[in-house]
Amino acid sequence: MEDRRTGMGIDGSAEGSSGGSPALDMLREAFPEEVLEVSMPRGHATAIIRPESLTKVMEFLKKDSRLLFGVLIDITAVDYAGRDPRFDVVYQLLSLPFNRRLQVKIRVPETDPEVVSMTPLWNSANWLEREVWDMFGIRFAGHPNLKRILMYEDFQGHPLRKDYPIRRRQPLIGPKN
């Protein structure tokens, strides 16, 4: 019987190589200059790509008949305070026809944290990008309605940034007359 777990992050292979992940191999072949690094940390197929090539790489991953990553599961960010570039924006993709998962990361600088919106490719990116904006302050160029989704409008700052002052007093909220 065929092992259907391949590509789902269960086939443990060495970090730093594609480890036989078909998606990573195809991505490297199609975009040798745009893919900065591929790895299989704890069995999860991961690619780090150049931010300026995000749209064309994601279109390829979604539309190529050998991949068909048609589901955007999640978008999040990681704040590496003290590192340059400071942020990683992380996209979790799922290919239902091939039963594969892929994690795509881009590195974003602190000085101008902006990424191209993926809402034209996946409608689910709408709220996910709003959450990243709200929590980390990373803007998404071309987003149809980039505003706070978890915090209230008068909230100051972005609470998941490592340098957010934990004891900061926020303005009181209440009914606006």
The per-residue DSSP string of 109-131 comes to: -SSS-EEE--TTT-TTHHHHHHH
- Backbone angles phi and psi of 167, in degrees to 5: -95, 15
Domain boundaries, the chain: 22-125
Contacts of 152 (CB under 8 A, 6+ apart): 173
pLDDT 10s digits, 139-153 = 999 999 999 999 988
C-alpha span between 135 and 50 (Å, rounded)? 23
What's at 108, amino acid-wise?
V
Tokens of 164: 């957010």
C-alpha span between 61 and 75 (Å, rounded)? 15
Q: Is the pLDDT of residue 174 over 90?
A: no
Q: What pLDDT band is residue 58 in, cutting at 50, 70 and 90?
A: very high
Average pLDDT, the chain: 89
Q: Is the pLDDT of residue 11 over 50?
A: no
Judge whether 100 and 44 are in contact, CB under 8 Å. no
Q: Does the domain at residues 22-125 carry the CATH identifier 3.40.50.300?
A: no
- Longest Cα–Cα distance of the chain, Å, equals 67
